[in-house]
Amino acid sequence: MSLPSPETLPRLEKTAIPGLVVVRLDRRDDDRGFFKENWQREKMLAVGLPDFGPVQNNVSFNSDRGVTRGIHTEPWDKFISLATGRIFGAWVDMRQGETFGATFTLEMDTSVAVFVPRGVGNSYQTLEDATAYTYLVNEHWRPSIAYPALALDDPTVAIDWPIPLAEAIISEKDQNNPRLDPATAIAPKKVLIVGALGQLGRALHAAHPDADRVDLFPGEGVSQLDLADAAAVAAWPWHEYAVVLNAAAYTAVDAAETPEGRVASWSANATGPATLAGLAREHGFTLVHYSSDYVFDGTASLDPGHTEDEPLSPLGVYAQSKAAGDLAVGLAPRHYLLRTSWVIGEGKNFVRTMRALAEKGVSPSVVDDQVGRLTFTEELVRGTRHLLETGAPFGTYNLSNGGAPMSWREIAQAVFERSGRSAEDVSGTTTEAYAEGVLAQGNPFAPRPLNSALSLEKIRATGFEPEDALAALDRYLG
């Protein structure tokens, strides 16, 4: 796709209200009138406007000069412009924070547009007869939703209306709006953690203590939500969220090979993410989904490891369900798909198992032909926050701890050494030999990729430097 010509790009001007942007449009005039591209997504994104996803276009026609519309704060983003006429526009920041009550005013004609972020009160006064005010919004209007309004003559914001309000045409409703009140300041949209009771979900909650949390089963501070329950999903207030962190997954890799596990794995790892991707498209939230190195067959070279654009090649049922989830999440307009490996957090895991064996004097045999990197949940959380806070381009990123790839045996040896045991107390075996032992006992065994190392160059390019896995291991065991 070719980039738009710089000569035809709109010009953006920031204001004292964060996120409120004036857009100078490329209007072409001749003896017939004028032409302008009022909204052209590619060009707007090229100059820095957010991809806010408009779903409704409204036109407010004003017959007379002096019509003054109240300061309304609807719960959505707006892109406003004029088809005819001129206005005096006024905006007030009604959001919680340091700029609460800040104002900005501007005279507008048909060559000017303004992007108004959610939570900023919006009003205008017509300066000419027959003024047609038009605006795009990124949520459908719902009569059940109440939103704050502000008195046009509020002395706190002191808007200098060019036509005195006593001479203006104002609706009865807008003549009775309240004064500015910090108690009614609009809170930002929330964060939702799905799968909040798992090890990653708990780590995400530590980083987002005010987030709403849901899981298949309720817990302390955690509501019940089954993404397979269509009625429950339909009733959930998805429009209240800016970000949904999907930490829910079926991770019993071997059990997924059973008839019951196959159904559960596909429900959690494929259908659930597909449901969230559809909701992200409908409601405009950013979807963060956590995937796995298992979507690859492990045949890539260790240097650089599996890259984000490598074709999917899952081996077992769990891997196939995760790959299907990846494809679904990729359809969400605003998404971060984070592929990770060998996750270690709170609860039972490989590192804690090895430490317990070391402390009991056991000398285990551990596979030495599977190679990858540990990923501590705190590193997943740190990487997630980095992508969200820096506004990194949406898409797929590999995310694990850094350092040289290690085998499971080498990791076990590192744990033993840090527990006062010799590395030689951990012997090696092959994945094939280990699988034969599991199958001989009548238990299922899923195929594993032998190379789980993920290339980390793409996320490094965003300014994030993964912490060395051994340094994180020292802190975890300390």
Q: Give the residue numbers annotated as catalytic, written as ranges.
A: 72, 135
Quote the CA–CA distance of 60 and 14 in Å, as a whole number. 25
The 3-state DSSP class for residue 241 equals: strand
Q: Residue 316, SS3? A: coil
Strand residues in 6-101 grouped as ranges (E): 11-14, 21-24, 27-30, 33-36, 56-62, 68-72, 78-84, 87-93
Question: How far is the first Cα of the chain from the last one, in angstroms, to the nearest whole number?
Answer: 52
Q: Is the peptide bond before 304 cis (omega within 30 degrees of 0)?
A: yes
What type of residue is 246? Answer: N
Closest CA to 251 of 339, 343, 338: 343
Neighbours of 110 (CB within 10 A): 20
Helix (H) or strand (E) holding 105: strand 103-108
Q: Can you tell me whether residue 167 is helix, strand or coil?
A: helix
d(CA 351, CA 343): 10
Tally the C-alpha atoms within 13 A of residue 342's C-alpha that lie toward its C-beta: 26
Query: How is residue 436 written in tokens?
Result: 């034969």
| Helix 408-418 × helix 350-360 angle, to 10° | 50
CA atoms within 13 A on the CB side of 296: 26
* Rg, the chain, Cα only: 28
CA-closest candidate to residue 119, choices 146, 153, 141, 147: 147
CA–CA distance, 439 with 146 (Å, rounded to integer): 61
Which residue, among 246, 238, 237, has the nearest Cα to 271 in the 3D structure? 246
